[in-house]
Amino acid sequence: MGLLSLVKASADEAESYMSDFSTLTVEYAHGCFREKKFSHEKGYAVRAIKNSRVGFSYCNSEEGFQRAVDAALHSSSISPEVKYSFPSQQKYEYMKTKSWDIAGLEEKFAMECAQQAVEGILEHAEPTRVSLSLSFGKEEIENTNGLSASMDGSACSIYTEAKNAGHFGFSFYSSPFLPKDFKKLGEEASMMAKDMEGAKSLPTGKYPICFSPYCLSQLVEFLMFHLSSENKRRGVSRLSDKQGEKVFSEKLSIRDSLKANASNMWPFDAEGIAAKDISLIRDGVLEDFLYDSYTAARLGSWRDGNCSRPAYSVLPTPAQSNIIIGKGDYPEHAAAHYLHIESFHGMHTSDSVSGDFGVEVDIAFFVKDKGEKFPVTNLLLTGNIFNLFNSIDKVGDAQITWNDLIAPKMWFKDVQVVGSKG
């Protein structure tokens, strides 16, 4: 008997979830391939509603179905009473989410792709690390309200790192599909390391700053803490009572879109809700939060479409999918006299509740006139995420896609930088 059939006999409503993914990872370091690892994870989860209370459990095999059902029913008995129902039947758009080149998870193919990246690094620098992961699998969600969702998909991620004269460079790629050119990814890391030769610090002060997509994505993710409906419910979001108000620069517009052509593209969210495009911030005004349907119910409303499951053993939770930042009208080639930050570290130590952050900048360039630049390192950047997104000076007129972020270049004014030169 299937998991849903088993649980619905004892519950008012029920939901079953299955995730089955295989991953091949190859690692290159110290002049050779150091690791080739294959992993397979398959698991099931169940949610049950009984007497307006929701229970949850999971297992990793069909033999564990009955235990999972019993545990879900027990947890429902001790859960808060909430007026809640699982999502109803949905219609899904067709999306291309898989690559058959990835599906085979062939070790020889993966090593050849990683080797191409190594060869790209060797153009200008020494390869210190190349890590390539290929994944392929399937996700299924079904509930007693007629919802049935099933999709298979692939993923490719590769990180390359290069070293030249004591300085590092890197590149990163993540997508459901293979990159067009693995060698080019290695060359990007190689050129960054080469361009960092002779890097120095800067005097302490306030600078106009433009962040790379790698850095901007971390800052946006940090901001998303305050756009989570769960954090709104808990009262730890500073934006809890600000909906409809202007809270950021009028140059900032952010949407969440599961159906955007980026790394997290998928036809439905972790509850089976059809992919949609949701405006979170428009011209600086807070329009919405990230919801899953259960958190919305606890807040007394019906909202959906913004949740994920980090693993089959975790409940659906409000989360970003693909973030789209609206473009502006500033011609990027005209920008001059600013600090372009390629890489920083330390966001994980920042204070999510207050929004205060401090990061160490290891790879940056000060851009002068006509694109002339010189390398910069050993900086400490401090600030507050709310102040930062209220200090947007210019927004570029073109968007690029990086992992799960689709965004233009953005220039921020008067960002505090602490250097080692006074």
Q: What is the pLDDT of residues 128-151, one digit of tens each?
A: 999 999 999 999 999 999 999 999
pLDDT for position 112: 96
pLDDT for position 393: 96
**147 and 220 share one domain:** no
Query: Residue 306's pLDDT band (boundaries 50, 70, 90)?
Result: confident
Q: Average pLDDT in the 219-236 region?
A: 95
**327 and 395 share one domain:** yes
**88 and 180 share one domain:** yes
306, two tokens: 């913004």
**113 and 135 share one domain:** yes
> What pTM does this model have?
0.94
**162 and 253 share one domain:** no
Q: Is the pLDDT of residue 239 over 80?
A: yes
Query: Residue 49's pLDDT band (boundaries 50, 70, 90)?
Result: very high
**88 and 208 share one domain:** no
Query: Residue 421's pLDDT band (boundaries 50, 70, 90)?
Result: low
Q: Is the pLDDT of residue 410 over 80?
A: yes
Among 93, 63, 389, 395, which residue's Cα sits nearest to residue 222?
A: 389
Write out the residue range of the structural domain in which residue 165 sits: 3-195
CA distances from 21 to 153, 270, 322, 342 (A): 9, 15, 21, 32
Q: For a pLDDT cut of 90, what percent of the chain falls above it?
A: 93
Among 328, 321, 280, 308, which residue's Cα sits nearest to residue 403?
A: 321
Choose one of 144, 173, 195: the last residue of a domain.
Answer: 195
Higher pLDDT, 247 or 333: 247
Q: Average pLDDT in the 330-335 region?
A: 88
Q: Is the pLDDT of residue 96 over 80?
A: yes
In three-state secondary structure terms, 59 is strand
Choose one of 145, 160, 195: the last residue of a domain.
Answer: 195
Q: Residues with Cβ < 8 Å from 118, sequence gap 6 or more?
A: 28, 127, 130, 186
Q: Which helix (H) or strand (E) segment is 171 a member of? A: strand 167-175
Q: Is the pLDDT of residue 186 over 60?
A: yes
**173 and 272 share one domain:** no
In three-state secondary structure terms, 395 is strand
Least confident of 161-175, 180-194, 298-312: 298-312
114, two tokens: 């990683």
**189 and 218 share one domain:** no
Query: Residue 314's pLDDT band (boundaries 50, 70, 90)?
Result: very high
**349 and 259 share one domain:** yes
Choose one of 179, 195, 211: the last residue of a domain.
Answer: 195
- Rounded CA-CA distance 313/270 in Å is 12
Q: Which residues of 50-79 are buried (b: 16+ CB within 10 A; e: fewer)?
A: beebbbbbbbeeeebbeebbebbbebbeeb
pLDDT for position 1: 57
Higher pLDDT, 421 or 367: 367
Number of domains observed in the structure of the chain: 2
Among 363, 319, 320, which residue's Cα sits nearest to residue 340?
A: 363
**187 and 79 share one domain:** yes
pLDDT for position 305: 67
Give me the chain's average pLDDT, please.
95
**10 and 65 share one domain:** yes
* Segment 290-299, tens digit of pLDDT: 999 999 999 9
Query: Residue 212's pLDDT band (boundaries 50, 70, 90)?
Result: very high
**236 and 340 share one domain:** yes
Query: Residue 233's pLDDT band (boundaries 50, 70, 90)?
Result: very high
